[in-house]
Structure formats: C-alpha cells, structure tokens
Amino acid sequence: MIYEALLLREATYSHDLHLQVSNQEWLTFAKDCLDNGFYTIASKAFANALVNIDPSHPRYLDSTNSIVNNGKINGISGLQNFTQSLSAPRSVQTQSAEYMKKKASEFNEKSNLQLGKIKVPGSSMFRLGIRTRNIQKLHHSRKRNLEES
C-alpha cells in the first residue's frame, strides 16, 4: 500500500521538487520492506531509489559528490541484487523451472532404466509371440511323438 502511495505521489508531483519522493524515502521504504520479508517490493523500491539519483543534477557536479554518489549507487545496487536473490527462490518462475527440472530428471531416470529393454513395435511383438507359441507347440508335439514310439 505504501509502495503504491509513493508511486502515485511521484507520478502526481513530478514537477514539484518539494513533494517528489526523495531518494532517502525510497531507501527507507526499501529497507523496511527488506526487514519485513517483502523482497520483491524492496527490489522495486531500490530500483526507484537508483532512478532518483540523477547525476545530471547540478549538486552532483563536484568530484567529491560524484565519488559519494558512486558509492551510494553501488550500495543500492548491491542491496537490490541481494533482495532479488532472496525473492528468486520464492518466485513462480523459479518454482516452475525447478519442477520442470525435477520432472525431466525423473523422465531421464525412467528412460535409463528402460534402455535395457528393446522397444519393439506392437506388430513385431505380436508376430514374435505367435512364432514363440508355434515353436512351443512344435516341441510339445515332437516330445509326445517320441513318447508314443
């Protein structure tokens, strides 16, 4: 809810410098989200904090400010990457990818077990069965003829 309010305020008052959402507000909100386990929202808030650091603004023309600014950017980027890594295992895409990998490995295991068995088409199996049955009948009949003679 707070995230939506900050976005609305940013969109509505983009022309008024005093009412715009500051970098510090985005950072505070993102850290609160991170502490409370809302990793996806925290990642988006860190992204908005990065957008609000504007190197073209006159106050960043000083060389010391640019060094501090680069440090802030690196720190925020690191936190954003950290939140993305925390939210990644819980995302639907990650869960579905893990599920598909699991199913693929199960399929490979089943196919490896069936490699020892030769796959024969049904018509060939039918003919092989008839041939085997006829050979058994032939052996049975020869055995019976030998016993009678």
Whether the model pTM is above 0.75: no
pLDDT of residue 59: 42
In a domain, 103, yes or no: no
Mean pLDDT by 10 residues, the chain (149 residues): 79 79 82 82 82 54 54 76 69 73 79 63 86 94 88
Is residue 79 in a domain?
yes
List the one residue out of 72, 63, 70, 92 whose CA is nearest residue 22: 72
Instruction: Examine residue 99 and state whether it is found in any structural domain, yes or no.
Output: no
pLDDT of residue 58: 43
- For residue 30, the enclosing domain spans 2-93
Residue 52 falls within a domain, yes or no? yes
Within this chain, do residues 14 and 43 fall inside the same structural domain, yes or no?
yes
The pLDDT, as a whole number, for residue 57 is: 45
Q: For the chain, what is the domain count? A: 2
Do 53 and 22 lie in one domain? The reply is yes
In a domain, 21, yes or no: yes
Domain identity same for 123 and 87: no
Phi, psi of 117 (to 5 degrees): -85, 130
Same domain, 55 and 117: no
Alpha-carbon distance of 79 to 35, in angstroms, equals 12
Question: Are 45 and 33 in contact, with CB atoms under 8 Å apart?
Answer: yes
- Both 10 and 65 in one domain: the answer is yes
Q: Is 63 exposed, middle or buried (0-12, 13-18, 19+ CB in 10 A)?
A: exposed
| One domain, residues 22 and 80 | yes
Single-letter residue type at 46: F
Q: Residue 105: inside a domain, yes or no?
A: no
